Chain A
Amino acid sequence: MKIGLNSHTQKVSWDFELLFTLVEKYDGACLFTSAGDESYGKNILGINPVMTFTDILSLDRFHKENRTDSEFPLVIGHIAYDHKDRLEEIGLFGNVHEDLMPEVEFRVFEYYMIADNSDHSVLKTVKLDLPFKYKAIDPDKIFNHTPEKLKGGSSKYTGSSLSKLEFEKKVGKIRDYILSGDIYQANLTRKISAETTFSPFELALRLKDSNSIEFGVFAKYGENYVISTSPERFFKIENSILTSSPIKGTAPRSDDSDTDLSNLKELLGSKKELAELAMIVDLIRNDMNKICSDVEVEDFPIVMRLKNVYHLYSDISGRLRTGSFFEIIRALFPGGSISGCPKIRACQIIEELEGTGRGLYTGNFGYVCFNGNMDLNIMIRTLFYNKGSISFNAGGGITLLSDPQNEFIETVHKAKNICSAIGLEEIWEEKSFSTE
């Protein structure tokens, strides 16, 4: 099937309320970014889904048929963490799944729009020429929507999949596995659930402003919504160069500038945090070596400054030897920074300790372009919404040097911005540290 393109530049002034309104009206997907070059670099919107792929192989075939030199997206979508089972030897993983959303869902949209943060007067728009019948949007009405009124709201904490004590005990269990030689690191997370009266649209706007966000997502799939405030890139491909940027190592920010600076110095001098990042860098090199030549560590470590935390990350690049999205995903998935090392054994231990599937959390969201360029995030710090129920996970990499109480507190730091953006308070009391 061949798809054509009609691109034009719209002199439409845009803001995020407009982009998110279009997501809401037309079952869209928006990748958004607060700033600069270290991110998607621009905001990308797809509206009115006309085709859906729920497995990567058929997407791959479709991409091969529609390979052109256009820089516009062909599909936008996600791969859930739980999809790892289908990419590995049968029997290695326990088949734990969370079924709220499809494991893989990449959608072709009737319209794609690209909005550059440096110019709010232009929306680059492309309409696909599709060789089949579908329900088209009336082009005259697209920009005639008034944004939904912001009514405010509140959120009520309903639980954490692991209590503070359980979480700390499982950190200890991971340390036992490390001592017996099973792994060097595993990423342990807990799921926080709540009920909210905010609309998904308002949640998305609040979360967008809650932090500096490089790899944000607001996507609607019928009654399900995904809102991501991810700071992490899984990988991007540009002109056959693949770059992966794993994050590992976290320190809290402080309002007091002296404390803030000393936290950063401590992070940069921390043997624990640097080792945590180093092992994931070696792991990502490994995964990239399956499909790339000339794999290089470009920079190690790099500091990322978010509102609530500092992170360390690294850039690793290589020259791609395959154009197949399936081959690339099979080599790299799931991301090392959110699983552990060695990856297979770490994923088995995570299944055992977390006890449930992760669904989309720690999977990837992003786009694949006609020309083979692509960009996918790691779905962390991500909220899922379904009819007033919301959930998100927080976690961290556990190594032999991890202190169970500090690791729990780190999950609280990481959840802090989401909690305050959606007015979630109870979590602090519920998991209070003062009682111990």
Chain B
Amino acid sequence: MKILLLDNYDSFTYNLKAQLERCSYGSEVTVKRNRDESVFDLDIGCLVISPGPMTWKETGVLKSLFEKRIIPEMIPVLGICLGMQFLAGYYGLKVDRISNPVHGSAVEIIHGGSRLFNNIPATFTAARYNSLGLVNIGPGIKEMNGLVFTSFEKDTGIVMSLEHKELPFAGFQFHTESFLTNAGDELISNFMEMHFEDRT
């Protein structure tokens, strides 16, 4: 299987690449920067959107790739941090400055037991690197615009992951690839199993 890892000029992309190579049954991972127009012509089995600086709207060709290739071909998508914010923003959720930015520290996360969190402890720790996030999602809101919120930061209730109800799209706000995250490999493996089990 061919994974396109779209790099938003980030400094964690190659940690994610190494993690994908470990956890996706020997898939071939190609890194392309978000200004690279050659992505439109690639064979894409799965799109992984890297973290990165600035906002989900400042991600080069990503939106166009999403509309021209990803949605028509129903290609599975995994977004990390900025990548998750892109999915949220694309489906009309508000991404803005949050009241408690955290960078380079692990926080406690609780999840609701979706298949993506299979075999992950009910509370686990993961690294956060974000000043922006989903806002206006109060407690009790479980889904919005077709996106289901499947994990939250324990202390603040901030949305930490979302999954599309019908399409094979998911995103993590925390960083699976950080050395501070203790269940990153399992989460990536779960995503790959959900979407590619029959293709390996």
Could you give, for residues 1-37 of chain B, a 1 whenever the CB lies within 8 Å of some chain A CB and a 0 otherwise? 0000000011111110110000000000000010000
Residue B113 CB within 8 A of the other chain: no
Option from B11, B18, B130 in Cβ contact (under 8 Å) with A336: B11
Contacting A at CB under 8 A, from B32-57, are 33, 51-55
| Chain B: CB-nearest residue to A343 | B11
Contact B97 A282 (CB under 8 A): no
B159: interface (CB < 8 Å): no
**Does B92 sit at the interface, judged by CB under 8 A?**
no
Cα-based distance from A23 to B180 in the complex (angstroms) = 45
- Tell me if B13 and A282 are in contact (CB < 8 A): no
Number of A-B contacts (CB under 8 A): 95
Nearest-neighbour CB distance to chain A for B173, whole angstroms, equals 12
A285 surroundings in chain B (CB, below 8 A): 15, 179
B15 touches A342 (CB 8 A): no
Please state if B105 and A342 are interface contacts (CB–CB under 8 Å): no
CB distance from A172 to the nearest CB of B (A): 15
- Complex contact B55–A181 (CB within 8 A): yes
Cβ contacts B129-171/A at 8 Å (1 or 0 each): 1111000000000000000000000000000000000000000
Q: Does the CB pair A181–B132 fall under 8 Å?
A: yes
Shortest CB–CB separation between residue B108 and chain A, in angstroms? Answer: 15
Docked Cα-Cα span, A343 to B178, in Å, equals: 16
Which residues of chain B in 105-122 are interfacial with respect to chain A, using CB atoms and an 8 Å cutoff? 105
CB of A278 within 8 Å of the partner chain: yes
- Give the secondary structure class of A's interface: helix
Cβ contact of B15, chosen from A181, A282, A300, A345, cutoff 8 A: A282
- Is B101 at the interface (CB under 8 A from chain A)? yes
Given contacts A276-B104, A285-B15, 4 further A-B contacts (CB under 8 A): A89-B33, A287-B14, A341-B11, A344-B53
Chain B residues near A341 (CB-CB < 8 A): 11
Which of A32-40, A182-190, A303-311 faces chain B? A182-190
Contact segment of A197-205, A289-297, A362-370, A410-418: A289-297
Residue of B nearest to A316 (CB): B179
The reply to whether B9 and A282 form a contact with Cβ atoms under 8 Å apart is: no
Majority DSSP secondary structure for residues of B touching A: mixed
B34 to chain A, nearest CB (A): 12
Given contacts A183-B53, A184-B129, contact A289 B97 (CB under 8 A): no
For the complex, is B127 an interface residue (Cβ under 8 Å from A)?
A: yes
Q: List 23 A-B contacts (CB under 8 A).
A: A179-B101, A180-B97, A182-B54, A184-B129, A275-B103, A276-B104, A282-B11, A282-B179, A283-B11, A285-B15, A285-B179, A286-B12, A287-B11, A289-B17, A297-B179, A300-B179, A341-B11, A342-B9, A342-B10, A342-B11, A342-B52, A343-B11, A400-B131
Q: How many residues on the A side are at the interface (Cβ–Cβ under 8 A)?
A: 35
Closest-by-CB residue of A relative to B33 is A89
When distances are taken between beta carbons in the complex, the residues of chain B under 8 Å from A344 are 9, 11, 53
Most buried by A among B11, B17, B52, B175: B11
Q: Chain A's nearest CB lies how many Å from the CB of B191?
A: 20
Cβ-defined contact, B105 with A271, below 8 A: yes
In the complex, the 7 A-B pairs of residues with the closest C-beta atoms, listed nearest first = A279-B104, A275-B104, A184-B103, A289-B14, A345-B53, A342-B11, A278-B104
Given contacts A278-B180, A295-B18, A400-B103, contact A283 B55 (CB under 8 A): no
A290, B101: Cβ atoms under 8 Å? no
Cα–Cα, bound, A281→B178 (Å): 9
For the complex formed, measure the closest distance between the CB of A69 and the CB atoms of chain B, giving whole angstroms: 31
Complex Cα spacing A290 to B18, Å: 9
B13 in contact with A286 (CB, 8 Å) = yes
Query: Is the CB–CB distance between A282 and B104 below 8 Å?
Result: yes
Q: Which residues of A contact B175 (CB under 8 A)?
A: 282
**How far is B103's CA from A269's CA once the two chains are assembled, in angstroms?**
17
Shortest beta-carbon distance, B143 to chain A, in Å?
A: 25
Output the nearest chain B residue to A178 by Cβ-Cβ distance. B131
Q: A281-B179, A344-B9, A400-B103 are in contact. Are A182 and B14 (CB under 8 A)?
A: no
